[in-house]
Amino acid sequence: MPKSEFSASDWIPEPGVEHLVYETPWLDFYYDDITHPDGTPGKFAWVRKHGGGGGVMTIPVTPSGKFLVISVYRHPNKRHLWEFPAGIMEDGESPEEAGSRELIEETGVTPVRLELLGSHSPIGYSGSLIHAVLTEIPEVTLDDIILQTEEGIVDAKLFTQTELVDLIENQSIVSGPLTMCLARYWMWQKRQEAAQQEQT
């Protein structure tokens, strides 16, 4: 490991002052004065979801183990991306409440059970967390889906776990939050399997 004149592990940054430079109904943009680990001053640009509540991404799974995935247009990417239904939490909402609302709004499907599986930071310049919510849904067909087209959602599919892995591997799915939520779901599955084995 490269040597440095200071130990980064001992470094505790000054909180500094947050400088809000632009506010929108969805995201707030900051450009802060910071101090680097070596003591030199600097700048850091970052974003936070408006209201500070963070975001939520659902993991809709049917009893047969199929995942409901939607295709939504993402302006920064200039393309449609396959994602799990997701959105910004409203004031006072829990992740489970936000997940239920977003799933119903975007697909018309009402979950039968919800469970918060964990939270993660989507990227290093975001000050908000994305909450991964398992949303168990009925054994629906694509004819049951009512897409929220005004939000740029144009398609929906029901994929098996194997199909999802193949789509991620061949870059047909490039959504980082979806991949992280899948990882949390698989860890949750492993815990469930281990708990069942202990009971037998």
The model's pLDDT over 129-164, given as tens digits with 9 standing for 90+, comes to 999 999 999 999 999 999 999 999 999 999 999 999
24-78 pLDDT per residue, tens? 988 899 999 888 888 888 899 999 888 777 899 999 999 999 999 999 999 888 9
**How far, in Å, are 37, 65, 96, 170, 172 from residue 163 at the CA level?**
44, 11, 27, 11, 11
Rounded Cα gap, residues 43 and 113, in angstroms: 44
Do 168 and 187 fall within a single domain?
Answer: yes
Do 68 and 108 fall within a single domain?
Answer: yes
Question: By residue range, what is the domain housing residue 178?
Answer: 55-199
Cβ(59)–Cβ(84) below 8 Å: yes
CA–chain centroid gap for 189, Å, is: 19
Do 114 and 90 fall within a single domain?
Answer: yes
Do 21 and 72 fall within a single domain?
Answer: no
Do 60 and 41 fall within a single domain?
Answer: no
Do 34 and 122 fall within a single domain?
Answer: no
Question: Which pTM was predicted?
Answer: 0.86
DSSP 52: S
Rounded Cα gap, residues 41 and 50, in angstroms: 27
Number of domains present in the structure of the chain: 2
pLDDT at position 18 over 70: yes
